[in-house]
Amino acid sequence: MFGEPIQALNNALSGMINTLRSDAQALDSLWISIVTFDREVKELVPLTELVNFQLPEITCPQSGPTNTGKGLELIYQKVTAEVRKGTDTQKGDWRPLFFLFTDGKPSDIQLYREMIPKIKSLHFGAMVGCAAGQLADDSMLKELTGTVVHLDTADTNTLRQFFKWVSDTIEQGNKSMGTVESVALPPPPTEVHLVI
Amino acid sequence: MITRTAGSIITKGRTYQYVDNGEPMRGGMKDVYFSPDRSYVVAFYRDVQDFNSRERLIKIVTQYYDSFFNKEGGNYYKDLYSWPTDVVELDRKIGIVVPTYNQNFFFRKGYATSDLIRGKEKEGKWFASPKFRNKQFPLRLDESELGNWLSYFQVCVNIARGVKRLHAAGLAHSDLSYKNVLVDPVSRTAAIIDIDGLVVPGLFPPDVIGTADFIAPEVLSSKHLDVKDPNRKLPNRLTDLHALAVMIYMYLLYRHPLKGGKIHDLDTEKDDLLAMGERALFIEHPTDKSNRPKLNQLNPKELPWADVTKVPYTITGPYLKALFDRAFIDGLHNPMQRPTANEWEDALLKTTDLMQPCSNAACDQKWYVFDNTNRPACPFCGTPHKGTLPVLDLYYQFRESVWKPENQRLMVYSNQYLFQWHANRNVIRNEKLTQEQKVPVGYFTFHQGRWVLVNQKLDSLKDITEDKEIPLGSMVELTDGKKLLLSKEEGGRVVIVTMANK
- Let me know if residue A11 belongs to a domain: yes
Question: Domain B105-253+314-349 adopts which CATH fold?
Answer: Transferase(Phosphotransferase); domain 1 (1.10.510)
Residues of A in contact with B175 (CB under 8 A): 176
Cβ contact, residue pair A22, B27, below 8 Å? no
pTM: 0.91
Q: Which residues of chain A have pLDDT under 70?
A: 1, 154, 171-176, 178-196
Architecture of domain B388-500: Sandwich (2.60)
B26, A93: Cβ pair inside 8 Å? no
- A159 CA: distance to closest CA in chain B (Å): 13
Residues β-bridged to residue B200: B204
N-term to C-term CA, chain B: 69
Nearest to B211 among A52, A87, A174 (CB): A174
Measured at the CA of B220, the angle between CA B80 and CA A122, to 5 degrees, comes to: 115
Q: Is residue A63 part of a domain?
A: yes
Closest chain A residue by Cα to residue B124: A24
Helix, coil or strand: residue A72: helix
Whether residue A176 is contained in a domain is answered as: no
- Say how many C-beta atoms besides its own lie within 10 A of residue B444's C-beta: 22
Count the neighbouring beta carbons within 10 Å of the beta carbon of residue B72. Answer: 7
Nearest to B268 among A18, A21, A92 (CB): A92
CB count within 10 Å of CB B135 equals 9
Which residue in chain A has the smallest CA separation from B266?
A: A86
Best of A88, A169, A177 to disrupt the B interface (most B CBs within 10 Å) is: A177
Identify the pLDDT of residue B414: 86
In chain B, residues with a C-beta closer than 8 Å to the C-beta of A21 are: 116, 139
Distance from CA of B434 to the nearest CA of A (A): 38
CB contact under 8 A, B207 and A179: yes
Interface TM-score (ipTM) > 0.90: no
**Long-range pairs, B306-311, Cβ under 8 A, ≥24:** B306/B130, B306/B255, B308/B255, B308/B283, B308/B284, B311/B253, B311/B379, B311/B380
Closest-CA residue of chain A to B29: A176
Beta strands in A2-61 (DSSP E): 31-37, 41-49
Residue-by-residue DSSP string for B100-121:
PPPGGGB-SS-BSS-STTTT-B
| Residue in B23, B131, B179 nearest the CB of A28 | B131
Domain range for A26 is: 4-82+94-171+183-195
- The CATH number for A102's domain is 3.40.50.410
Reference A155, options A163, A147, A166, A165; nearest CA is A163
- Sheet with B86-90, strands from edge to edge, namely B15-20, B2-8, B86-90, B93-99, B40-45, B30-34, B25-26
Choose from B53, B269, B270, B296 for mutation: most chain A CBs within 10 A.
B269
- Answer yes or no: do B266 and A86 touch at CB < 8 A: yes
Among B125, B177, B182, pick the best mutation site for testing chain A contact (most A Cβ within 10 A).
B125
For chain A, the domain total comes to 1
A93, A174, A178 ranked by CB distance to B268: nearest: A93
Contact call for residues A27 and B110 (beta carbons, < 8 A): no
pLDDT in tens, chain B (502 residues): 899 999 999 999 999 999 998 888 887 788 999 999 999 999 999 888 888 889 889 999 999 999 999 887 788 888 899 999 999 999 989 999 999 999 999 999 999 999 999 999 999 999 999 999 999 999 999 999 999 999 999 999 999 999 999 999 999 999 999 889 999 999 999 999 988 888 887 777 787 888 889 999 999 999 999 888 999 999 999 999 999 999 999 999 999 999 999 999 998 889 999 999 999 999 999 999 999 999 888 889 999 999 999 999 999 999 999 999 999 999 999 999 999 999 999 999 999 999 999 999 999 999 999 888 878 899 999 999 988 889 999 999 988 889 999 989 999 988 899 999 999 999 999 888 888 999 999 999 998 889 999 999 999 999 999 999 999 999 999 999 999 999 999 999 999 999 988 7
Residue A179 has its nearest CB partner, among B212, B234, B271, at: B234
Write out the residue limits of the CATH 3.30.200.20 domain(s) in chain B: 2-100
Task: Look at residues B34, B7, B39, B31 and name the one whose alpha carbon lies nearest to residue B19.
Answer: B34
The CA distance from B346 to the nearest CA of chain A, in Å, is 29
Tell me which residue of A60, A57, A9, A58 sits closest to A39, measured CA to CA. A60
B405: β partners? B395
What's the CA gap between B415 and B428, in Å, rounded?
22
d(CA A193, CA B4): 25
Q: In which residue ranges of chain B is CATH 2.60.200.20 found?
A: 388-500
Candidate from B28, B131, B268 with C-beta closest to A95: B268
Q: How far is B195 from chain A (nearest CA, A)?
A: 13
At the top level of CATH, which class does the domain B2-100 belong to? alpha beta
- Dist CA A100 CA B427 (whole Å): 64
Task: Flag if A22 and B269 touch (Cβ within 8 Å).
Answer: no
Q: Where in chain B is the domain with CATH 1.10.510.10?
A: 105-253+314-349
Short-list B44, B58, B55, CA closest to B86: B58
Cβ contacts of A91 on chain B, cutoff 8 Å: 261, 263, 268, 271, 297
Q: Which of B138, B206, B211 is the closest to A175 by Cβ?
A: B211
The predicted pLDDT at position B165 comes to 93
- Of all residues in chain B, the one with the smallest CA distance to A178 is B208
Interchain CB distance below 8 Å, B215 and A177: yes
- DSSP sequence for A91-117: PPPPPPEEEEEESS--S-HHHHHHHHH
Q: Which of B22, B138, B180 sits opposite A51 (nearest CB)?
A: B138
In a domain, A113, yes or no: yes
B208 and A177: CB-CB below 8 Å?
yes
Chain A residues whose C-beta sits inside 8 Å of any chain B C-beta: 18, 21-22, 24-25, 27-28, 51-52, 85-95, 161, 164, 168, 173-180, 186-187, 190
What whole-number distance in Å separates Cα of residue B256 and Cα of residue B214?
A: 10
Residue B494 Cα, gap to closest chain A Cα (Å) = 48
